[in-house]
Amino acid sequence: MALSIPDEFPLTEKFCYLTTAGMGLVPRSAIEATCELYRDHLKAVPYPDLFDEFAEVVEEARKVFAGWISAKAEEVSFQPNASTSLNVVTSMVGPKRGDNMVVDDLGFPSGTFPMIALGKKGVQTRWVKNREGLITAADYEKVIDDKTRLVVVSLVSWVNGLRAEVEEITKIAHEKGALCMVDSTHGTGYIDIDAAGWKLDFLATSNYKWLLSTHGSSEFFCASRLMDRFDPPQLGWHTAGGTQSLSAENLEVASTARKFEPGNPDYISTFTLTRSLAAISRFGRKRVTERTLKLSRAINEGLMKLGLEVLTPADAKHASGIVFARSKKVSGEEMGSRLRKTGILVTPRSYHGSSGIRVSPYFYNDEGDIETFLGGMKRVLRSV
């Protein structure tokens, strides 16, 4: 059955919603299915019936999400959020004094804070600096050396929407003997990810943005070739493979990514993810990609015509669903506030101390939304 935008996303009828990078709109069908699952608590025997059903939900979600990033189900685990996964990887890699970790200055704090904290242990944080919003694999190559233990890179920058050259960066890291951790939060859902083909080591994502799900559950990918190399930093009954033959005296860690799940994952949020992904699939994954990038490109071009400084690369290789722009006339906070009064929602953001707006359309937007937004921006700029 085809997906109806007004039915699935009723807020699009009320607002010009251009801030999916903050939180995505959860489809009505996903919400209704999740509510029904909650109601099962009133009808089903909690244990073992409902508990066993939840376990099946998790395994279904593991398989479904793995397909979205071209990975194997046994390489996917569920975590409370992407920040947890980033800390898990930092802990497992365990750099020593004299080693270094590489991050860039367009990354989200959750990907940089664990690195910075290692400075107390004599581990250096090396920064790859952007040049007017652009960072290339060659920029990483200048910073990575044989003392680098981990490279952390965002598939898409949360600030300006730069799509990183992940495959090339991962290759450079491997050539120097380093591992690469990818935060795909702002790309999973509309950008094709090939975990196997790109030879990714680790990947983490958040569900409540472009995957149109809820808080509470997040996915962590660990390549199967690394599974035996790293021990999970946290242990629990789930780590040991579940209730079958469970013993408090004998620890047998799971051989799959489940070993990174010390306890029960968030079953409800994980279920919601499967239904949200089903809604996106009904619209068509290729259509989602094409429409999102087309709308983003129109925003990029339109803002430049209005005289704003756009710090998001417009070329196809680096473009994403996020556009960042700033004006010399008015702050991002003021632009965001004035636009909201007319039903246009964008996100005020600071780019290295400079105030601007982050605009993030998705497939539930259309060309009419872009015209509305650009018209609103024109009025804001004329009034200052």
β-pair partners for 153? 182
Write out pLDDT tens, residues 167-193: 999 999 999 999 999 999 999 999 999
Number of domains in the chain: 2
* Domain limit, last residue, from 280, 303, 338: 280
Average pLDDT over residues 122-144: 97
In this prediction, residue 27 carries a pLDDT of 98
Q: Is 241 exposed, middle or buried (0-12, 13-18, 19+ CB in 10 A)?
A: middle
> Does one domain contain both 90 and 204?
yes
Same domain for 48 and 108:
yes
Distance CA 275, CA 271 (A): 7
Residue 289 and residue 270 in one domain = no
Token pair belonging to 157: 């920058």
**Which domain, by its residues, includes 199?**
33-280
Together in a domain, 232 and 102: yes
In this structure, are 176 and 73 located in the same domain? yes
At residue 239, the pLDDT reads 87
Domain CATH for 192: 3.40.640.10
Q: What was the pLDDT predicted at 21? A: 98
Q: Are residues 73 and 102 in the same domain?
A: yes
Q: In this predicted structure, what is the pLDDT of residue 339?
A: 98
Residues 261 and 297 in one domain: no
Are 213 and 290 part of one and the same domain? no
Residues 126 and 61 in one domain: yes
With beta carbons less than 8 A apart as the criterion, state whether 264 and 236 touch.
no
**Taking residues 131-153, what's their average pLDDT?**
97
Cα–Cα distance, 12 to 289 (Å, whole number): 19
Here the CATH number for the domain that contains residue 300 is 3.90.1150.10
- Give this prediction's pTM: 0.96
Q: Which of 280, 309, 344 is the C-terminal boundary of a domain?
A: 280
Query: 241 and 142 share a domain?
Result: yes
Whether residues 37 and 109 fall in one domain: yes
pLDDT in tens, 233-282: 999 988 886 555 677 888 889 999 999 999 999 999 999 999 999 999 99
Distance CA 220, CA 162 (A): 22
